[in-house]
Amino acid sequence: DIRHLVTQVKVSGRTAPEVRHLAEEYGELLEAQAVPSLTAGYKEHQSLLATHARSFARCDSDLDARLETERQLRGVYEGWRAMHKDCRSHEARLQKELAACSHRLNLTSARKQAACATPNVSGAAAGKRNDTSLVQLKRQCQEATQGYVDQWSICAEGGRFYDTKRSECDSVQQSMETANCTRASQVSGVCDMYDLCRAGMSLAYASAKEAARAWERYHQAEWLAVVMVRCFAENLGGEAENSTALLGELEKCEQLVTNATLFDLEYPDVPSPRTCTPASDSPCVARTPSSPSRRTPPASAQLASAVVADEEKESLPMAVSFVQEGIERASVALPREVHEALFRPFAAPVAMSLACLTGLVLIARCMMHHRDKGQEHSDGRDGHADRKVDKWCIPSSDAPAAGPPISTQLMLDGGRWLCPELLVPKNSKCTIAVPVVSGLRMDSAPANFMVIDKMGQPLFKATVARVPKDPDAGAADGGLVEQLSITRQDGTTLATCQFAVPQAGAARQPDCRVFQRD
């Protein structure tokens, strides 16, 4: 465009001020449109490059956090290890004392047997004769027996102490091994995770640098135009300049643009990776604590070989055979080609059959549902069948024989039924036990109760009011008549049920069974 202006100077005789004026207009246009977008793009890419360069510090901080956690867990493990060492030392001392006690018990038992053998023989030989030596021998036998009992009590108490200490040491050992496994799992693969983190950050940083270089190449022409127009507008002379001078200034500006740097984006260097040495001491070995006194006897050679053979057989590749009646184990896995040749031809027909069967079942259920709904509507118009809403309250004839009869009557508001608050699963009954409100008169205000579910959420409000007794109720209903109204919280009536209150002293409370759905 600038060269076109200079050409116009040559051909049409335009003066330098006119060219300068046009150059200033181009410059203002570029300054208003191109420069702000270029500046914003430069700042955005520079900030993105700096952010990616700083992101490598996250890998270092994560490594430091894991190593610090490993040091803390190692301290916990060392504490359990020292406690386990002291506990096992105490256990060994108790075991040694128990062995010495058992040895003394054996000696005491031998002395008891020797002391009690002589009185038995002498008593059998002397018969019923009262001999002083026999009495002394029996006394010695009793003393030896008492000594044996005392020694046995001491050894039994020592055995209980030993068993308690052994259980305690086993528990400490399990806690120690759990702490060690926790430490090992925390430090396991920490160096690999660090390398993986740095690799991901390096990949993201390389992508950001490539995007910045592409942005520079894409906006290079815009930036060169801005620099050239600025240079040309600033270096134009007065009115006497001719086209040759203008061309000279243009060449100077082009040379200046060629040697000028564009955006000067800084690409920070990637920090060097840290040295990571994985901890390999104290590997995680989860063992079941065992004690010599509770160790199971070794199995025979035949049993051991059988167990090893069974384990080797279980480790072989397994395949499922559907040809036989049951599911059996095969010792050799079938090749993939054999599986494809056997089962691939059956896959599509079986899938299509299942899809068709599912569709037929859904169509049949929809047809049955529409037929039932049509039958219900026709019955409702003819008036020959009872509506489902009439079964919300069970009449007195369906009530158990025990207790006074209860007459019930259902009245609807506008003929609506099965509202959301009264929907229950099929073949279920919900019973509301209606309390007898003492002191409730016909002229008094009704008693309100809020019905909630097991979770404490309000369902609806029940209102109990005393109403005049129906003269056609019969002589059997000697009590008063109350009316239960079930309403929503906004005042909409859902159902109304009347019931007879029995006389005082009756064994059965009145109830109104609603929400029944067959």
Res 195: pLDDT: 87
What is the enclosing helix (H) or strand (E) of 307? helix 301-314
Distance CA 277, CA 262 (A): 45
Tens-digit pLDDT string for the chain (518 aa): 555 655 555 555 555 666 666 667 776 777 777 777 777 887 888 888 888 888 888 888 888 888 888 888 888 988 999 999 999 999 999 999 999 999 999 999 998 888 888 655 445 444 444 568 888 888 888 888 898 899 899 999 999 999 999 999 999 999 888 888 888 887 778 888 888 888 888 888 888 888 888 877 777 767 777 777 777 766 665 544 565 666 677 777 767 666 555 567 788 888 888 888 766 556 676 565 554 444 333 333 343 344 334 444 433 333 333 333 333 333 344 445 545 555 566 666 777 777 788 888 888 887 877 676 666 555 555 544 444 433 443 333 333 433 433 333 333 333 333 344 455 555 555 555 555 555 556 666 787 777 776 566 677 777 878 777 656 544 444 557 777 778 877 778 777 777 676 655 555 555 555 544 44
Res 470: pLDDT: 58
Which residues fall within 8 angstroms of residue 399, CB to CB, at 6 or more apart? 405, 406
Q: What angle do CA 76, 79, 83 make, to 5 degrees?
A: 140
What is the enclosing helix (H) or strand (E) of 501? none
Distance CA 268, CA 409 (A): 87
Checking phi first, is residue 426 left (phi over 0); if not, alpha (psi -120 to 50) or beta?
A: beta
String of b and e for 60-73 (b: at least 16 CB within 10 Å)?
A: eeebeebbeebeeb
Distance CA 278, CA 184 (A): 10
Confidence (pTM): 0.39
Q: What is the DSSP string of 16-54?
A: HHHHHHHHHHHHHHHHHHHHHHHHHHHHHHHHHHHHHHH
Res 400: pLDDT: 40
Q: What is the DSSP string of 467-497?
A: EPPPGGG-SS--S-EEEEEEE-TTS-EEEEE
Q: Are 464 and 480 in contact (CB under 8 A)?
A: no
Q: Are 143 and 111 in contact (CB under 8 A)?
A: no
Residue 73 has phi, psi (to 5 degrees) of -65, -35
- The shares of helix, strand and coil residues in the chain, as percent rounded to the nearest 5, are 60, 10, 30
Written as one letter, the residue type at 399 is A
CA atoms within a 13 Å half-sphere pointing along the CA-CB vector of 432: 29
For 399-455, the pLDDT digits (tens) are 343 343 333 333 333 333 334 445 555 555 555 555 555 555 666 678 777 777 656
Distance CA 335, CA 182 (A): 42
Terminal C-alpha separation, the chain = 90
For 229-285, the pLDDT digits (tens) are 777 766 665 544 565 666 677 777 767 666 555 567 788 888 888 888 766 556 676
Residue 402 has phi, psi (to 5 degrees) of -70, 140
